[in-house]
Amino acid sequence: MCGIVGYLGSQSAVPILLNCLKQLEYRGYDSAGIAILNGDDLTVAKSAGKISFLENMLQEEGIPESHVGIGHTRWATQVRPTDLNSPPDTGCTSNFAVVHNGIIENYQAIKEWLQKEGHSFVSETDAEVLPHLVEHFYQGDLETAVLEVINRVEGSYAMMVFTHKEPRKLVAARKDSPLIMGLGEKEYFLASDIPAILSYTRQAYILEDGEVAVLKPEGAYILDWKGLPVDKAIFKVEWDAAAAEKAGYDHFMRKEMHEQPRALKDTLSSRISLDNRYVQLNEVSLTPQQIKDFTRIKMVGCGTAYHAGIVGKYLIEKLVRIPVEVDIASEFRYRDPLLDERTLVVVISQSGETADTLAALREAKRKGARVLAVTNVVGSSISREADDVLYTWAGPEIAVASTKAYTTQLICMYLLGLYLAQVRRTLSEEEIATMITHLRQLPQQVQMILNREQQIKKLAETYTRSELENIFFIGRGLDYAVAMEGSLKLKEITYIHAEAYAAGELKHGTFALIEEGFPIIALGTQESLLEKTVNNVKELKARGATVIGLALKGDTQLQECVDEIIYLPRTHNDLTSILAVIPLQLLAYYAAVTRGTNVDQPRNLTKAVTVE
């Protein structure tokens, strides 16, 4: 899985393919390769490692001239990342080349059948069955062969195929993995994500499941899985390539953390009345009666999005007085969830392409539930298939470790909670207005915390030394939900083993791990629970732990029993989550910088998980 690109036009293909792949590096990968047509020869260059390895190889061997080609940056999901297993894959005669994003679930049966038909395989990848299948079914027309293939494979895929037998044609197909076609001046681009093509065009077709794109110099068109033409509207990308650049920051993650005040404002804008009296979600088509008829809500997401759902649960149950369950998307459909038309399912995904979350969405709709999506990407699969969408308006998030996507997801949780409470009349107008006033202040307060990042940098340098192996995050209520996200941020980019615990659970086994100097991050922003959190911290200190505390400005109880304290601006007690997570993001970032890890592309991780 990860990033795939394709090009057909009058320009030199190799520089364009390499540049497009570089725009997808944020997704993470461990091998890269391209395939081009050089005259009548189909040429493949690939290697394990970064794109720079591939570039050096091409420079040493000489970059051939070509006007059509495909490329791939791949995470090895099921096999070792070796030169032989690197993409693209070719058939027996090297007449056909394929790049593939996804997993072919029935590849073993197909491979055994093809071997009986005389095909020889050289790699361990599931993707290698695709060029062999195309080769087997090819009878002079590439698009017909691809249609035959997609009707026989099972699983998820976004694939691009070409052959020297038809040097003026490039064919692509999609199922459950994102794929777009960019439209230039007498040239066409294919990619798994929009940033890849923004240097060349902002006009694109977004392919749906079961659709096939056919590119020729004289024009491009889209077919359905039966080979019938599909009429599609052009999608215009409103943001430009500059939004995805580092803009002087050392890392995308730091840039994106500093973009949070703007992202929060954008996500709030137009959704709050000018007089700050009510929430207006014009993009949500739910009627007041439908909202009143809901008997429960289910939040579904993966990783950071799942953590946003946990905050949503705490908040919406309190504000709306309706039961809310939170599910990890990869578990959701396998437990046969109880759903009906009186259930609202909220699916949360930064990319809008998360495979497990997309599958959960489809399961929810199959069982008759109403689905509302919270996502950052307009035109993504989840945004198109949900009944309603709340966009986070965070702008492109490039770093693998999510920051501004998480905080804007929380804003959407706040807005949704207030909107439902407004319709169901579980809060008074005055209570809603008070919370909205505090919501309006959050972007400025986040900026205040970012302005003090040097304090957190020093803490990271002091307490996340290279020999540190374990750290705990604790909290109660909403603080526990934020502790989960804080621990995830730290572990994914520093490789420190970090765990979040509900503070009251420490005595049920976890105290056995506490020894002299054991580092603890203690969140204490929930005033109604602060006394209990302080008692938990005192128990940790009695066992020798070193504790860094987070508290709201003016609270002194926690300061008296911790080694270090980080103060946050005061806000409404139900809205502290956004402020509390900012220092944890900064702590993780500076810990990673101190330890010398790859901040934006942590090992083994990818930005958009498009396979199960």
Identity of the amino acid at 217: P
**Per-residue pLDDT tens for 35-47?**
999 877 898 988 8
CA atoms within 13 A on the CB side of 128: 21
Rg of the chain over Cα atoms, rounded to whole angstroms, equals 26
CA atoms within 13 A on the CB side of 152: 19
d(CA 598, CA 596): 7
- pTM (2 decimals)? 0.76
SS3 letters across 43-92 = EEEEEECCHHHHHHHHHHHCCCCCCEEEEEEECCCCCCCCCCCCCCEECC
Please say whether the beta carbons of 227 and 368 come within 8 A.
Answer: no
Would you say residue 65 has pLDDT above 60? Answer: yes
The full set of domains in the chain, from first to last, is 2-243 (3.60.20.10), 249-450 (3.40.50.10490), 452-612 (3.40.50.10490)
Please say whether the beta carbons of 142 and 42 come within 8 A.
Answer: no
d(CA 193, CA 23): 9
Would you say residue 63 has pLDDT above 90? Answer: no
**Which residue matches tokens 């040493």?**
60
Rounded to a whole number of angstroms, the distance between the first and last alpha carbons of the chain is 11
Q: Six-digit token pair at 458?
A: 């020093």
Split at pLDDT 50, 70, 90, the class of 603 is: confident
Would you say residue 222 has pLDDT above 60? Answer: yes
Burial of 285 (0-12, 13-18, 19+ CB in 10 A): exposed
d(CA 239, CA 396): 8
Split at pLDDT 50, 70, 90, the class of 28 is: low
d(CA 447, CA 121): 55
Would you say residue 2 has pLDDT above 80? Answer: no
**Per-residue pLDDT tens for 241-281?**
556 677 678 999 999 999 999 899 989 988 998 888 999 99
Please say whether the beta carbons of 545 and 471 come within 8 A.
Answer: no
pLDDT value for 14: 93
What is the helix (H) or strand (E) element at residue 163, kind and residue range? strand 155-163
Among all residues, which ones are annotated catalytic?
Answer: 2, 607
**Which residue matches tokens 């439902």?**
420
**Which residue matches tokens 């970032």?**
589
DSSP per-residue letters across 423-486:
HHT-S-HHHHHHHHHHHHHHHHHHHHHHTTHHHHHHHHHHHS-TT--EEEEEESTHHHHHHHHH
Identity of the amino acid at 545: A
> Average pLDDT for residues 175-202, to the nearest whole number?
91
Pairing of strands 235-236, 203-206: antiparallel
Average pLDDT, the chain: 90
